[in-house]
Amino acid sequence: MVELGLNRAEPATLVVDLNCAFASIEQQHDPSLRGRPLAIAAYATDAATIVSSSREARDLGIKTGMRVFEAKALYPRLVIREPNPPRYREVSDKLIEILQRHTPDVLRMSIDEASLNLAGTPDLTRLGPEGVGWAIKRAVRAEVGEWVTCSIGIDATARHLARAGIRTPLDFLYATPQRLRLAGMRREVAEHWLKRLRGYEVGSFESARRKSYSHSHVMARATSVQADLEELLMRLSEMVGRRLRAAGRRGSVVTVSVVYRPRAGHFSHQAKQPQPISTGEEIYRAALELLAAREPNREIGTLGVGLSGLSDAAEDQMDLFAEPRAPRGDRLEKAMDTIRDRFGEDAVQRGRLLGRAPVVRDRIAFGNTGHPEE
Amino acid sequence: MGIRSQTALKLTCQPSTLSSALQIVSRAISTRTTLPILNNILLETTSEGLALTATNLEIGIRKVVAAEVAEEGSTTVPARLLTDFVGTLPEKDLEMALDLSTQTLSLKCARFDTHVKCIEAEEFPPGPRPDEGDRLSIPLDELLAAIEQTQMAASTDEARPVLTGVLLHIDRDGQTLAATDGHRLAVRKLQARGGSDLEARLIVPARALAELPRAFRGESGEVEVIVSKARNQIFFRAGTSEVTSRLIDGTYPNYTQVIPTKSSTTVKVATSELNQTVRAVSLFARDSANVIRLKTETGGLVLSATTNEVGDSRAEVSADVEGSDIQIAFNARYILDALAVAAEDHVELLFDGPLSPGLIRPPGSDQYLYVIMPVRVAM
């Protein structure tokens, strides 16, 4: 046999993925949904996109990324639910806690996916990687619920690899870096993979720290009415501020992005603030100025607010020429945070937004862990 | 700039003096310029010798080196090449001669016979001439000391262009230099020398002022300062050396209003001991925003810094403390910048609570004031 220079040590890295995560968490929560085709969609409207579907729905060909009306065409009695992020975060946290029983090296890859490095842990010797996998599965069943299951294994890039003609592990092993680039890998990534395939662990288990916070909203009906846009901007700014404060951070670069609809087009403007900010009020004021750059007669379909240039809130270098920061604003938003933590997002509202439907919801973007501190 | 005749330049000079002048003048050459001629140094014969001029259109530097001029003339030579080449030459007479028809400068020195392709002097942008404008005279030592004590406080953030300059504030009472990046402020009064009728608030790029100590090395006496009538150029001349700069357009913040006028705590401390202590302790602040904490204790000042996962450090400095006790935190770099240019053995630190600006100054004097905004931390 050809000498491939393999790492013959036992594999020590596991990737754990919750199956049909959002859908099965909902089924766990509400037993009446179990065994029924269920889809979690961004909104409970026909145009909304499905973000997760249950095993039963998948068997009918209903997949993530489909529109609700497409799914209903396949199965009219499909149950549609809107996402419930706090519920998913709770399960995600539980999963991480279970994984951490086996190693301190746990990397949360997204809200329903994590990897763990067992190298050098007692459990690797005691149970072996497969044994640890079974232990995790048992713990998830016992502590998260019988309806929530997870898959444990390696790799999520099979589809991309197939594009480059790599269909078997051996194809992958013998692939040249050039071929891997056809699969959409950058050179460094390709080289890392070729090493990993030979059994060497590369890449760090430390996740990069988040560099920006943003929220955007696709409106059901496009609008160019300033008052409507201001309300949405205020809501988005508050949500950015809330996550920022939860992470104990501040930011100095405010970005507003706009997608026009139906006449397509977009713009994105940003402005550096003289000092880092963290309250919704401050973000809103900066964003409002940026929004003034929009074309006033064009209807806007999507509006987004982001904050980057992040620093830790503790590093509060004061400014000689700025007006002293009014601690009142900080205190007010802190109090609002506390109330919302306890009674929910709609428990307290700015007067201006009172009585308005909570159009912008908390949601978890793909590839995002859904956790403010990351 | 002087006579630009069509006669061939011909002269003899010493490589070492030429080399040091070239190095100084080259500081005005921009590393990325869109105008190729700005990569060149203008050579012109004058009655005092050979004048070298370089500019990036924002800052211009001109030096004159002693030379025996046989034929007057001018040309421009690639700055980098000439500077590097002359720097390697032995200390023997260097003969320069320009072949007008080919614009080739021949350099003969000891064993070397070298020819450099030049560009006509006419291509070189004519710098602003200081023949007209408001004038003012400042002792050279005094100006250089004041620049040293202020320019480091200027901002490097181009987002606030005004703060990348140093304010030269001239009024009947005298002249003051002030620089700030928004977090700290350095203010230096120049020794008054008779009144001037000129009143102006000129914002000089800190980068330009930083060139003055080098450009005026070896000169003495007075610096002649000329401000163009349009108030967009400033011109400094000491002996035969000149620095010109564009002025920054804008309104400088009212710096006088942020200088503390009262204090509840006064700490007098030896400059070098404080400097050395801040330097050591701040190593433990490197990864935590460079924040160092100061606390008064009987008979001294306690400095401390902590970075999780790195460690912490604490040190006492003996000091005379008057007034109420205080705990305050600063960016250590701002303190070190002030101590590095403090002229006296002792400095006075004045505080008025943990969230008000601190003041560093020579004991009992307001000739030099350095104001630092604290960092808000949980004590």
- B128 in a domain, yes or no? no
B332 neighbourhood in chain A, CB within 8 Å: none
Q: How many angstroms away from the CA of A318 is the closest CA of chain B? A: 6
Asked if A319 has any chain B CB less than 8 Å from its own CB, the reply is yes
**Helices in chain A by DSSP H: which ranges?**
21-29, 55-59, 68-74, 85-100, 122-143, 158-163, 169-174, 177-182, 187-197, 226-246, 280-291, 327-343
Please judge whether A317 and B288 are an interchain contact, meaning their C-beta atoms are less than 8 angstroms apart: no
- Compute, in degrees rounded to 10, the torsion defined by CA atoms A19, A21, A26, A28: 40
Q: Which CATH number belongs to the domain containing residue B312 in this structure?
A: 3.10.150.10
Minimal-distance CA residue of chain A relative to B371: A320
More confident site: A228 or A220: A228
Tens-digit pLDDT profile for residues A257-278:
998 887 778 888 998 887 788 8
Write down the architecture of domain A10-154 according to CATH.
3-Layer(aba) Sandwich (3.40)
pLDDT digits (tens, 9 = 90+) for B358-379: 999 999 888 999 999 999 887 6
Cα separation, B79 vs B52, whole angstroms: 10
pLDDT at B3 over 50: no
Same domain, yes or no: B264 and B368: yes
- Region of A38 (left: φ > 0; alpha: ψ -120 to 50; beta: rest) is beta
**Residues B308, B337 share a domain:** yes
Q: What confidence score (pLDDT) does residue B204 get?
A: 97
Domain match, B301 and B368 both: yes
Residue B1 lies in a domain: no
Asked, for residue B378, whether it belongs to a domain, the answer is no
Structure-block tokens of residue A257: 């992005």
DSSP state of B231: S
Q: Indicate if the pLDDT at residue B262 is higher than 80.
A: yes
Q: What is the pLDDT of residue B261?
A: 93
Q: At residue B127, does pLDDT exceed 90?
A: no
pLDDT band at residue B189, thresholds of 50, 70 and 90? very high
Q: Say whether both B346 and B300 belong to one domain.
A: yes
Contact A318 B184 (CB under 8 A): no
Q: Is the same domain home to B273 and B247?
A: no
What is the edge-to-edge ordering of all strands in the sheet holding B327-331? Answer: B200-205, B165-171, B174-180, B184-189, B368-372, B358-361, B346-351, B265-270, B311-323, B300-307, B291-297, B327-331
Count of CB atoms situated within 10 Å of the CB of A177 = 14
Mark whether B191 and B264 lie in a shared domain. no
d(CA A351, CA A160): 50
> What six digits make up the tokens of B82?
């000439």
Q: Is A366 on the interface with B (CB under 8 A)?
A: no
Q: Tokens at residue A288, please?
A: 């409002």
A325, A333 contact by CB (below 8 A): no
Residues of chain A neighbouring B377 (CB-CB closer than 8 A): 314, 316
A209 in reach of chain B (CB within 8 A): no
CA gap A207, A112 in Å, rounded: 16
- Domain presence at residue B283: yes
B23 pLDDT exceeds 80?
A: yes
The yes-or-no verdict on residue B62 having pLDDT over 80 is: yes
What's the rounded Cα separation, in Å, for the pair B289 and A121? 35
Range of the domain at B77: 7-123
Cross-strand partners of A272: A253
Rounded Cα gap, residues B235 and B242, in angstroms: 7
**Per the domain annotation, does B2 fall within a domain?**
no
Distance of CA A268 to the CA centre of its chain: 22
d(CA B207, CA B154): 9
Q: Which amino acid, residue B186? A: A
The confidence score (pLDDT) of residue B30 equals 86
Residue B289 in contact with partner chain A when CB distance is under 8 A: yes
Q: What is the pLDDT of residues B216-226, one digit of tens each?
A: 998 999 999 99
Please check the confidence at residue B207 and state whether its pLDDT lies above 70.
yes
Judge whether residue A309 has pLDDT over 50: yes
Which residues, in sequence order, are CB contacts of A50 under 8 Å at separation 6+?
A: A39, A40, A41, A62, A63, A64, A65, A66, A67, A68, A71
Tell me which residue in A312, A318, A322 faces B374 most closely, judged by beta carbons: A318
A314 contacts: CB under 8 Å, gap ≥ 6: A248, B289, B377, B378
- Is A5 near chain B, with CB under 8 Å? no
Residue B82, H or E segment: helix B79-88
By Cβ distance, the residue of A311, A314, A317 closest to B183 is: A317
* pLDDT-derived band at B331, boundaries 50, 70, 90: very high
Instruction: Report residue B7's pLDDT band, with 50, 70 and 90 as the boundaries.
Output: low
B232 with B335, same domain?
Answer: no
Whole-number pLDDT of residue A10: 59
Average per-residue pLDDT for chain A: 81
Domain ranges in chain A?
10-154, 156-204, 212-353
| Contacts A312 to B, Cβ<8 Å | 289
d(CA B89, CA A249): 58
| Residue B36 predicted with pLDDT over 90 | no
CB-CB neighbors (< 8 A) of A322 in chain B: 182
8-state DSSP, B367: S
Identify the bridge partners of residue A212 per DSSP, sorted by sequence position.
A308
- Helix or strand run (H / E) with residue A115: strand A113-117
How is residue B161 written in tokens? Answer: 């262009």
**Residue B375 and residue A318: Cβ atoms within 8 Å?**
yes
B chain contacts of residue A206, beta-carbon cutoff 8 Å: none
Determine the pLDDT at residue A207: 44
Work out the pLDDT band at B281, boundaries 50, 70, 90.
very high
Closest CA–CA distance from residue B117 to any residue of chain A (Å): 44
pLDDT band at A166 (very low <50, low <70, confident <90, very high): confident
Q: Which residues pair with A266 in a beta bridge?
A: A259
At position B253, the amino acid (one-letter code) is: P
- Indicate whether B36 and B16 sit together in one domain: yes
* Contact state of A315 with B289 under an 8 Å Cβ cutoff: yes
Q: Do A317 and B184 touch (CB under 8 A)?
A: no
Residues of A in contact with B184 (CB under 8 A): 320
Dist. CA A254–CA A271, nearest whole Å:
6
The reported pLDDT for the residue numbered A373 is 43
Nearest CA in chain A to B158: A272
> In this structure, are B325 and B245 located in the same domain?
no
Cβ-Cβ contacts under 8 Å, B159 against chain A? 272
Residues 6+ apart with CB under 8 A from B70: B10, B11, B12
- The correct answer on CATH 1.10.3720.10 for the domain covering A212-353 is no
Q: What is the mean pLDDT of residues B145-156?
A: 94
Residues with Cβ within 8 Å of residue B141, at least 6 apart in sequence: none
B contacts of A320 (beta carbons < 8 Å): 180, 182-185, 258, 357, 371, 373
Q: What is the pLDDT of residue B1?
A: 46
- B183 touching chain A per CB within 8 A: yes
* List of chain A residues whose C-beta atoms are within 8 Å of the C-beta of residue B355: 318
CB contacts < 8 A, A to B, total: 42
Confidence bin at B129 (pLDDT 50/70/90): confident
Task: Answer whether B10 touches A (CB < 8 Å).
Answer: no
Q: Does B265 share its domain with B360?
A: yes
Least confident range from A215-229, A306-320, B83-97, B316-330: namely: A306-320
Phi and psi at A69, nearest 5°, equal -65, -30
For A311, the closest chain B residue by CA position comes to B289
B288 touches chain A (CB under 8 A): yes
Contacts of B285 in chain A (CB under 8 A): none
Strand partners, B302: B295, B316
**Is A321–B258 a contact, with Cβ atoms under 8 angstroms apart?**
yes
Contact A258, A268 (CB under 8 A): yes
Higher pLDDT: A312 or B245? It is B245
Residue B130 has pLDDT above 80, yes or no: no
Q: What is the pLDDT of residues A107-155, one digit of tens each?
A: 887 888 888 888 788 888 888 888 888 899 999 999 988 888 888 875 4
Q: SS3 of B257, please?
A: helix
- Answer yes or no: do B95 and B206 share one domain: no
The total domain count for chain B is 3
Nearest residue in A to B185, CA atom: A320
Domain boundary among B256, B284, B308: B256
- Rounded to a whole number of angstroms, the distance from the CA of B328 to the nearest CA of chain A is 12
Residues B11 and B119 in one domain: yes
Which of B256, B287, B315 lies at the terminal end of a domain, its last residue? B256
The pLDDT of residue A65 is above 50: yes
Kindly state the average pLDDT of the residues A326-338: 78
Which one is predicted more confidently, B157 or A52? A52
